[in-house]
Amino acid sequence: MIFWWQVGLWWRSHWGKVLLSVFLFVAGFSAIYFFQDSLTGLFVRTPTDSLTTPLLSLGDPFDLTDYTQVEVDVLAEGVLFKKDCKGIWLAMPYEKTYSIKRGEVGAFDVRPTQHDILFDILTNYKITMHYARIERIQHDFFYATVLLEDNDKLLQLDTRPSDALALAKRLKVPVYMSSKLLQQQGRDICNDQRA
């Protein structure tokens, strides 16, 4: 009896917060359900009379005017993105760089990694990966995207740079980096004695 009395007291003092939390939870899932195409970055090309016109929801994924193609050096403790004399170092755990390096040389382990499995899925279903793009750094985290195409559908996925690089190396596609990011965060690697 005392327990239910305490529950009643708690409910009377917290009912507004509980209802607000439930409302926000339901609203969040409703937004994902009803607006999933625009939230995930899915593009759908709709056929017209003579050509296909993309309906763009997040900008043109093929527009690379603000991006620079970079080389990627893979080392045990991370990767170095470089273009001319500018470079950005990204530290990664060994298992991530190991997978990227295995993709670069085209080697497979006895048991497949998640990147090997994804490579098999993409190649067997003839899904084209156009590029891996390093987009930005925010709160000390790098953000990347990959662009996939299957027939008339484009999918621009938000991903970790390590996963984007592992797939890009396996599928032999270019890696791009935001030109602004490279200019702001890049260090001079030609004259740096530590490089």
On the question of pLDDT at 71 being above 50, the answer is: yes
On the question of pLDDT at 100 being above 80, the answer is: yes
On the question of pLDDT at 194 being above 60, the answer is: no
- Least reliable range by pLDDT among 38-42, 124-128, 188-192: 38-42
Q: In the prediction, which pLDDT does 167 show? A: 95
On the question of pLDDT at 151 being above 70, the answer is: yes
pLDDT band at 58 (very low <50, low <70, confident <90, very high): low
CATH of domain 67-188: 3.10.690.10
Counting residues of the chain whose pLDDT is more than 90, the rounded percentage is 52
Q: In the prediction, which pLDDT does 14 show? A: 73
pLDDT tens-digit readout, 112-122? 889 999 999 99
pLDDT band at 43 (very low <50, low <70, confident <90, very high): very low
Which H or E element spans position 9? helix 2-34
On the question of pLDDT at 189 being above 90, the answer is: no
Beta strands in the chain (DSSP E): 42-47, 52-55, 67-69, 71-75, 78-83, 86-91, 128-138, 141-150, 153-159, 175-178, 187-188
Residue length of the chain: 195
Q: In the prediction, which pLDDT does 92 show? A: 93
Tokens of 103: 């993709």
Residue pair 164/132 in contact (Cβ under 8 Å)? The answer is yes
Q: How far apart are the first and last CA of the chain?
A: 72
The domains of the chain are located at 2-34, 67-188
Q: In the prediction, which pLDDT does 102 show? A: 92
